[in-house]
Structure 1
Amino acid sequence: MQLFSTFESNAFLELAISSLEKKGIKKENIYAVPLDNRIEERKVFDSLHRSDGTSFIDIGMVLASAFAVIGASRGFELTWGPIYWGLIGAFSGLFIGVAIRIFTEIILKKKKRYLKDKHSEVILIIDCEETLVPTVENILWSNFALGVAKVK
């Protein structure tokens, strides 16, 4: 039976391997594969086929509504009237909101565009007998494996 588990590359991986060897699993039956993680930056703008769930117009729509109401109410006293000033307020609010959102995504959240939280760095493949599976699985989980899978 084979067990697959993913780990971050740290001391717990080494502890898991040494614990497995102490339980009687030979070095030839333990195989560690390092993964290549993403090194390029994530894209800010989405395409038609890929979206990360971040919207650039959410703040813009809120500001557009607020500025349209303010512009329309002030427009009764101005020369162009409430309709034009409401439209001017809506477009200026939308522009300001989108600019704020792009600024926060590009400048302030640059680090968050990389992979979030923990990510796998090593896949550990263990070949063992079915009687040792619960013990091996317990060792892997106790050494902070990110995930464990069994294949017969």
Structure 2
Amino acid sequence: MQVFSTFETTGFLEIAISTLEKNGIQKENIFAVPLDNRAEDRKFFDTLHRSDGTSLIDIGMGLATALSVIGASIGFKLVWGPIYWGLIGAFVGFVIGFAIRLFIELVVKKNKRVLKGKHSEIILIIDCEETQAELIEDVLWSHFAIGVAKIK
């Protein structure tokens, strides 16, 4: 049977390995694999298959609505009429809102575009007997494993 678990790089991993060795697991049956973390920057624009939940057009749509209403209201007194001035107001509002959101994402939140939460950095693979699996799983969970899986 094999037990797989993932850990962050902390002292708890080393303590877990030494605890497993004290409980009768041989060093040859414990295999630790470090993972390579993402080195490239995250993509700014979303694709069809991946989205990070950040919208660039939310402020633009709000401003487009507001400025189109204002443009249509004022357009009754202007030469081109309310329809053209409403469309002009919508376009200007969208462009201003998009520029504001783009500035916020590129300049203000530049350093905050990182993966959030805990990151698995090491995979620990342990070969054992089925009778030892529960003990190993308890040791791994008590030493703050991110995830544990058993395969027969």
1:58 matched to 2:58? The reply is yes
Paired position in structure 1 for 2:149: 149
Partner of 1:29: 29
What residue number does 1:5 align with? 5
Cα deviations by residue, 1:39-80 (Å, 9 ceiling, x for unpaired):
110110123443333322122111111110111112223333
Q: Which amino acid is the alignment partner of residue 68 of structure 1?
A: S
Q: Which runs of structure 2 are paired with 1:68-147 in the superposition (5 Å)?
A: 68-147=68-147
Mapping 1:35-50, distance limit 5 Å:
35-50=35-50
**Alpha-carbon offset, residue 150 of structure 1:** 0.5
Letter in 2 for 1:133: A
Please tell me the residue identity of whatever aligns with 2:72.
Answer: A
State percent identity of aligned pairs: 71
What is the distance in 2 between the residues matched to 1:36 and 1:147?
Answer: 18
Distance 1:148 1:26 in 2: 19
Structure 2: gaps spanning 5 or more residues: none
Q: SS of the counterpart of 1:70?
A: helix
Letter of the 2:105 counterpart: E
Distance 1:24 1:123 in 2: 20
**TM-score of the superposed pair, with normalisation by structure 2:** 0.91
Superposition RMSD in Å: 1.5
Unaligned 5+ runs, structure 1: none
State the number of aligned residues.
Answer: 152
- Amino acid aligned to 1:100: I
The DSSP-based 3-state class of the residue aligned with 2:150 is strand
Q: Deviations over 1:114-146 (max 9, x none)?
A: 222111100001111111111111111111111
Q: Distance in 1 between matches of 2:111 and 2:142?
A: 30
> How many angstroms apart in 1 are the aligned matches of 2:71 and 2:65?
10
Q: What is the TM-score of this pair, normalised by structure 1? A: 0.91
For 1:4, give the aligned amino acid: F
